[in-house]
Amino acid sequence: MFGYSTLEETVAHSEVMPGVSEVSASPAATQMLNKVPEVTIYFWIIKILCTTVGESLADYINETLGFGLTNTTVVFVVALAIVLFVQFRLRRYLPGVYWLAVVLISVVGTLLTDQLTDNQGVALWLSTTVFAVLLAVVFGIWYARERTLSIHSIVTTPREAFYWLTVLVTFALGTAAGDWTLDLTGWSPGPAILLPAGLILAVVIAWRFGAGPVLCFWLAYILTRPLGANLGDFLGLSSDEGGLGLGTATTSLIFLAAILAVVVYLTVTRKDRTEAIRDGRP
């Protein structure tokens, strides 16, 4: 979904979405392989699993273990910095490192929004607005500098930096927007899953009817955050709160195990590897 299997397909769609085919880079940078996975069904499965873990694991450590919001935030920010350091040092996509970074960044994105809401008293509508504006600014600077927002062209360090910054902001925005929606509607966790799921379906339909693949990808990427968070709440919360009562610890373990299983599968089968790009050619 929202991906092309070959460079030729990407170039063929460049007239639909300007910048998608901008995959060439400086001579030194083109020695890197694309640093992100191909967008397949496995990509979206792990993405949703990661967003659920981001919600349940943050809640478990912060609330159940009583570690505190600030201490939990510091721990995960440090862990994320270490993993991103390793990720940036790599010259190609490695599933284990990449998806570990996504898991950690999902937790950090959740905690950033929680920090603003719980510790700073920032209203959810305001944090949603701020993160939306920030995301627009990041996209604007990224496109102005690189002339592409396509994840099929993450072959230089600046592009990778823009990519991970965008991912972080989308997680924070998805958390704030999802929580704000729940406050406005008063829905329980079960029915709350239907709204982001329905919006994602609408994005997929729009993509099928010719909407820009890059735009559709990032819209779906944002929407999977509230989908995964609501799913985590539904599984973890007690029946009195509208959930299944699995608890945050059990939910986190189940989804972490599922992520590990899929990542191992992808590592062995290499089904989500993109082609090498050198001097603008596959």
What phi, psi does 164 have (nearest 5°)? -70, -35
The answer as to whether 99 is a domain residue is: yes
Task: Check whether 281 has a pLDDT greater than 80.
Answer: no
Q: Are 229 and 14 in contact (CB under 8 A)?
A: no
The tens digit of pLDDT for each residue in 37-61 reads 988 999 999 999 988 888 788 888 8
Q: Higher model confidence: residue 264 or residue 26?
A: 264
- Is residue 192, in this structure, part of any structural domain at all? yes
Q: Is 148 left (phi over 0), alpha (psi -120 to 50) or beta?
A: beta
| 253 falls within a domain | yes
Count CB neighbours of 204 within 10 A: 16
Cβ contacts of 250 within 8 Å, gap of 6 or more: 236
Amino acid in the structure at residue 49: L
For residues 271 and 40, give the distance between their C-alpha atoms in angstroms, rounded to a whole number: 9
Both structure tokens of 39 = 């967008």
**Whose structure tokens read 């063929």?**
12
User: Can you give the residue range of the structural domain that contains 254?
Assistant: 27-269
Residue 270, φ and ψ in degrees, nearest 5: 60, 30
Confirm whether 282 is domain-assigned.
no
- For residue 252, being part of any structural domain is answered with yes
Each residue's pLDDT tens digit, 115-152 = 999 889 999 999 999 999 999 999 999 999 999 898 88
pLDDT score for 32: 62
- The number of distinct structural domains making up the chain is 1
Is 176 in contact with 124 (CB distance < 8 Å)?
yes
CB 163 within 8 A of CB 190: no
Q: Would you say residue 265 lies in a domain?
A: yes
Q: Is residue 13 part of a domain?
A: no
Q: Look at residue 3 and tell me if it is in a domain.
A: no
Max mean pLDDT among 177-186, 203-212, 241-250 falls in 203-212
User: Taken in order 75, 168, 208, 9, is the CA torsion positive or negative?
Assistant: negative
Residues 267, 273 contacting (CB under 8 angstroms):
no
